[in-house]
Chain A
Amino acid sequence: MNNIVVLELGIFAGSMYDVPNWQSYKTFDEAIEKFQNLHPNIRIKYRSGTLKNDYSEWLAQKIINGDEPDVFCVLPGDFNTFASIGIMKNLDELIKRDKSFNINRMYLNAIKFGQFQGVQYAIPKELDPQLMFVNKTLLKKEGIQVPKGNWTWEDFYNICRKITKDTDGDGKIDQFGSVGFNWKIAVYTNGEQFFDQSGKKAMFDSKGVIEAVKFVKALNDLNQNFKVNLEDFDNGRVAFRPFSFSAYKAYKTYPYRIIKYAQFDWECIKLPRGPNGRNASELNAMLFGISSRTKHTKEAWEFLKFITYNDEIQMDVLRYSHGIPVLRDVTESKKAEEELLKYNPEEEISVDTKVLSDVVEQSVVPPRFHKYDEAVEIADREIYQIIKGDKEVEDTLIKLNSELNDFLNQ
């Protein structure tokens, strides 16, 4: 009995992606059982029930008390802080030494998602890329074809222009092109970043970012100051909305399809690309890391490897969760295709395994540095003024860039 190692796992109840999930523990409970059968000397325990909203605070308290879990889920908003204070173990050496772990089976972007300043601190268990929701009923009514996967900003803008109109003749626009296509998505779909990898240099004065902000402003100008919201979208008056794969998976099939967007036909396609970009935006992921203070590094690594690298556990991501496996060959397998077919058995499949792999690979992983969130907030405030029409695009972005450079180098 003395040889038994007990590992604590840090997870929360419910969905990583804020979509309905009534049995989020199922995938972990099954993984733990399989892992314990393979490693009879290791026991995994976890505190059940913590809500996602409370999870960061719970974990911070555990860190303060010095009893954080050996392996824990790291929410994207916490990753930079945790990495910068050294509470997560540097995994580079463990990965290098483990001959049974070939990191190249994972999507390159999945690997990047767990890196901070070039060091691997965490590994995703699953991924969630952005797609574009299309209201097919609205497009059909206007005689417009659903765009194909490789579409551009120009195609997107032209459709939005045609769609935006006053349909009841009361002098007010009541039908709109898009909602939620913000400046960040525009920058990413234009193949740009707004900070460099070191987090010391802002790039808001680059041609690609200026182009992206101008595009979002042009899209917004179509609405003539009317603020389109999600209620308009839910009521079928908006053609496009950036939409996560997880939401697609949750709401495309019964039973949840009766609750959301049931009043019209819809589908998801890739996002439109800018002149220099690709058809994908920011990637989201469920990350796991190991405490730098664990007394059981070897066992913790075995478990982390098991949930992120075991074929069956990765297939369970498609069966029980709303994400995509991080192993490319699992996502592109026949079994995965069968799982996805459940989501659209009667219609032509727009989101197949090939599309998913493309979108994950073309997605963007923003640079990781400690001041990232604050810097984005500053940019958000200023760009909001530009889009509203209160400030000129180019000069404001150049000035913003200079302010952000000062902030980043303070």
Chain B
Amino acid sequence: MIKRIALFLIIIFMLFSTSCINNEKVSNIKKYKFGASYMTFNNPFFVELNNGIKDVVEKNGGKLITLDPQLDIQKQIQQIKELVYERVDVIFLNPVDWKEIKPALEIAKRANIPVIVVDAPVYDDELVECTVVSDNYNAGVLCAKDMIKRLNGKGNVVILEHPSVKSAIDRIEAYENTIKEYPDIKIVGRRASDGQIEKAMPAMESLLKMNKQIDAVMCLNDPTAMGAIAALEKAGRLKNVLVYGVDGSQNAKKMIKQGKMIATAAQFPKEIGKIAAEAALRKLAGEKIEHEIKVPVILIDKNNVDKY
């Protein structure tokens, strides 16, 4: 029996060795090992972002270890520790909580492993090498301006937010700053959804119970918008409420086409991933890299949805 185990392990080892040799033939670049931890993989946005990183990493003969803490900050800190223990060359991080992630950043710093933050900044950004994010503030502005126009500057709105994540904080802050100039637009309620469809639906249901008149809902991302749409549809109130999200996901585009959602401020997750991975390779090649890279966003509604 032991012999059979040994045989199987040798076979696996051979397979791995062969792929290494092939990779070395393809590229002369040192085979780097990268780690990534995203707040959740239950959001297609992060799957795409990870694909953007993976494409670049694998094209250059490297390997990417991707981990999902399912929105648990303690699990994410532990994951960063493990990536440090595994001696990865660079860590890509999308923090569950922009402040509480600090101990993990310190551990990576002490180990001299550069951290590249993707999609959502960290509070202690001096501990990271580079942050690649969408123009989150503008995402909030774009949604607010469109909403103001459609409401003719008057209406009751609610907000679904994620207060522990900086990208979400920026979007909502921009939205609130933009509508501030319109005193007849009133924020009548707000709830946290953690960016999850599963939490957004009950959050929206609770807002619907408390507010007879809601004209629009601003959601920090598209999964949250899906949860809001589900609650509105179930309550029979969808046709009276304008739903906004951020991401530009396939599901949001589908909802816009079906007339269930007004607009989404589209991000480009694959592009963010690609830029982050290229920055990592440049860093490893000894180049100086930018401390912050911003990727523009655009508003998608029924007028331009077919283009994207």
Contact = CB atoms under 8 A, between A and B. Distances in A.
Given A22-B40, A22-B198, A86-B1, 7 more contacts: A13-B68, A48-B68, A51-B68, A64-B13, A85-B8, A87-B5, A255-B226
A54 interface: yes
Interface residues of B, number: 42
Interface stretch (B72-80, B169-177, B213-221): B72-80
Contact of B37 (A24, A49, A63, A85): A49
A81 B12 CA distance: 12
B41 A255 contact: no
Given A14-B42, A258-B233, A22 B71 contact: yes
Contacts of A254: 201, 230-231, 233-234
A82 to B, nearest CB: 9
A341 to B, nearest CB: 16
A85 B7 contact: yes
A284 B88 CA distance: 36
Contact of B196 (A14, A22, A51, A258): A22
B12 A50 contact: no
B66 interface: yes
A22 B4 contact: no
Interface of B: 1-2, 4-5, 7-9, 12-13, 37, 40-42, 65-72, 75, 78-79, 82, 196-198, 200-201, 226-227, 229-231, 233-234, 251, 254-255, 258, 260
Contacts of B255: 258
Nearest to B250: A259
Contacts of B79: 48-49
A262 B255 CA distance: 11
A87 B5 CA distance: 7
B92 to A, nearest CB: 13
Contact of A49 (B2, B75, B196, B234): B75
In which size bucket is the chain A interface? 20 to 34
B7 A13 contact: no
Closest 10 CB pairs of A and B: A49-B67, A255-B230, A22-B42, A13-B68, A85-B8, A86-B1, A255-B201, A254-B230, A48-B75, A258-B230
A319 interface: no
Contacts of B254: 259
A64 B9 contact: yes
A56 to B, nearest CB: 10
B260 A258 contact: yes
B69 A21 contact: no
A343 interface: no
Nearest to A258: B230
Given A54-B65, A86-B1, A13 B70 contact: yes
Nearest to B195: A22
A36 B230 CA distance: 38
21 contacts: A14-B42, A20-B197, A21-B42, A25-B70, A47-B82, A48-B68, A48-B79, A49-B66, A49-B75, A51-B66, A51-B67, A51-B68, A63-B12, A85-B7, A254-B230, A254-B234, A255-B201, A258-B229, A258-B255, A259-B226, A263-B258
